[in-house]
């Protein structure tokens, strides 16, 4: 069976940089408050009316395709991961295919939030191994700033997130024990509402504050978005930070060790760990628990914030561009997020 290699990698972040001081001008927060809790110093925001998850995904994809030494015409499958699509439907994958003037290729959208890129990598790996596709483009892009609540009510969430995109081109390789060695995917929906944006949604009022709502609604009076929801600002993302933190620091090490054990490797075999950039404190906890050195863990949340699905490919691309990833290195990717979902991938570069 063939192995899957990353043949090209790319990233894009918007030009607009928003510092902690910028946020403190519109809400009751401070640079020290944000840094202490998240490690974030600044983040990038998309240009409203000019940039979207698709347009940023295209820029990252173009770079990845060029570095792979192919053209957009060679791509035979697109996988697009985002929680902030341009449209409610259709998904961004077909919009990217249209924008890049590709042939009529397969296109798949996945909604695994922070774990989206690693999930996409795993899906692509299976298609490469079976020989069904030969040049798979996996894109993760987020335009979260358009939906953030920049008030004191929303500050605990709004200070964390940023915009950006990352992409890879995956191809088969005949070189044994190289490329993607294994992927590991998990979920637990019991805490689904603890990190969520429930509205707008097609639940018809079934969920209210995360609970089952049995109120009957007339068949001819079913508004998709209600006036009450607008008045109550019911479209904000919600996060129970303490619960999410505790779950993340439990599942991150588990899924990393699962990948290592599956390949008979130890933590000291990791050349570099690229964790989802959720919170610098989470990454530091993982590093301490697994007894990894500073050189073994790559973090860039300080400059980009949490770019959700895009954070792993952005960090992977930067680490590679900075020469921190070399041929033969063992690279571990890991993510945890809304759902809850978590995942890992182990690669030999």
Give CA–CA dist 164/144, Å, rounded.
9
Tokens 């429930």: give the residue. 198
Q: DSSP letter string over 63-131?
A: HHHHHTT--GGG--EEEEE-SS-SSSSS-HHHHHHHHTT--S-EEEEE--GGGHHHHHHHHHHHHHHHT
Q: Which residues are catalytic?
A: 114, 276, 306
DSSP structure class, residue 297: B
Hey, which residues does 212 pair with through a beta bridge? Answer: 207
Pick from 283, 287, 340: nearest CA to 312: 283
Read off the tokens for 31. 């640079």
Helices (H), 113-235: 116-130, 155-158, 227-231
């Amino acid at each position: 069976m063939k192995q899957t290699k990353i043949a090209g990698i790319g990233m894009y972040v918007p030009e607009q940089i928003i510092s902690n001081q910028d946020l403190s001008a519109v809400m009751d927060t401070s640079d020290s408050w944000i840094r202490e809790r998240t490690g974030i110093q600044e983040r990038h925001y998309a240009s409203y009316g000019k940039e979207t998850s698709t347009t940023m995904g295209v820029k990252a994809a173009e770079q990845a395709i060029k570095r792979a030494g192919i053209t957009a015409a060679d791509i035979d499958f697109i996988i697009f991961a985002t929680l902030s699509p341009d449209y409610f439907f259709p998904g961004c994958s077909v919009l990217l295919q249209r924008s890049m003037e590709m042939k009529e290729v397969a296109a798949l959208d996945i909604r695994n939030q922070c774990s989206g890129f690693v999930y996409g990598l795993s899906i692509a790996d299976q298609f490469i191994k079976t020989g069904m596709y030969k040049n798979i483009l996996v894109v993760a892009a987020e335009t979260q700033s358009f939906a953030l609540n920049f008030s004191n009510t929303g500050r605990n969430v709004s200070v964390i997130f940023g915009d950006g995109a990352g992409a890879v081109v995956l191809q088969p390789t005949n070189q044994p024990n190289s490329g993607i060695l294994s992927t590991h995917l998990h979920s637990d929906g019991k805490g689904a509402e603890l990190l969520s944006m429930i509205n707008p949604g097609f639940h018809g009022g079934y969920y209210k504050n995360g609970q089952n709502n049995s109120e009957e609604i007339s068949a001819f009076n079913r508004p998709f978005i209600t006036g009450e929801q607008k008045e109550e600002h019911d479209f904000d993302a919600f996060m129970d930070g303490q619960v999410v933190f505790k779950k993340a620091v439990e599942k991150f090490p588990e899924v990393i060790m699962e990948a290592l054990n599956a390949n008979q490797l130890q933590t000291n075999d990791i050349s570099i760990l690229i964790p989802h950039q959720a919170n610098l404190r989470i990454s530091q906890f993982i590093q301490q628990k697994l007894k990894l050195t500073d050189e073994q863990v790559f973090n860039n949340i300080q400059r980009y914030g949490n770019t959700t699905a895009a954070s792993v490919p952005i960090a992977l691309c930067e680490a590679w561009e900075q020469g921190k990833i070399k041929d033969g290195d063992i690279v571990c990717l890991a993510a945890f997020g809304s759902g809850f979902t978590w995942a890992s991938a182990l690669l030999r570069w």
